[in-house]
Amino acid sequence: MTGPLAVPPFAVIPGGQVRAALEGREKHIVEVVEDTYRLHGAGDSVNPPSSFLRFPDRRSSRMIALPASIGGQARVDGLKWISSFPENVASDIPRASAVLILNDPVTGYPFACLESSIISATRTAASAASAADWLSRGRPRPMRVGFFGAGLIARYIHTFLEGTGWSFDEIGVHDVSPESAAGFRLYLEQSGTPGRISVHDSAEELIRYSDLVVFATVAGEPHVEDPSWFEHNPVVLHVSLRDLAPQILLASTNIVDDIEHCLRAGTSPHLTEQLTGNRDFVHGTLDDVMNGRVTAPPDRPAVFSPFGLGVLDLAVGKYVYDEVARSGELQTIDGFFHELRRYG
Beta bridge partners of 145: 171, 212
| Gap between the Cα atoms of 296 and 288, Å rounded | 11
**Pick from 5, 6, 7: which is nearest to 336 by CA?**
7
Q: Given this model, what pLDDT does residue 267 score?
A: 96
Q: Using an 8 Å Cβ cutoff, are 121 and 156 in contact?
A: yes
In degrees and rounded to multiples of 5, residue 183 shows phi and psi of -65, -40
Q: Given this model, what pLDDT does residue 1 score?
A: 43
11-119+310-327 and 121-305 in the same fold: no
| Gap between the Cα atoms of 202 and 229, Å rounded | 12
DSSP for 131-174, written as a single string: HHHHHHTTSPPP-EEEEES-SHHHHHHHHHHHHTT---SEEEEE
In degrees and rounded to multiples of 5, residue 148 shows phi and psi of -100, 105
CATH class of 11-119+310-327: alpha beta
- Whole-angstrom CA distances from 256 to 63, 72, 91, 213 are 22, 22, 34, 16
Q: Where exactly are the structural domains of the chain?
A: 11-119+310-327, 121-305
> Across the 344 residues of the chain, what is the mean pLDDT of every consecutive 10-residue run?
81 98 97 97 94 91 95 93 90 90 96 97 97 96 97 95 96 95 95 93 97 94 97 98 98 97 94 98 98 96 96 97 97 90 77
- For the question of whether the overall pTM of this predicted structure is more than 0.75, the answer is yes
Q: Given this model, what pLDDT does residue 164 score?
A: 97
Q: Given this model, what pLDDT does residue 339 score?
A: 83
Q: Given this model, what pLDDT does residue 208 score?
A: 98
For the domain spanning 121-305, the CATH number is: 3.40.50.720
Q: Given this model, what pLDDT does residue 248 score?
A: 98
Burial class (CB in 10 A: 0-12, 13-18, 19+), 62: middle
Give the count of beta carbons closer than 10 Å to the beta carbon of residue 292.
Answer: 7
Q: Given this model, what pLDDT does residue 3 score?
A: 72
Estimate the crossing angle of helix 26-41 against helix 117-136, to 10 degrees. Answer: 80
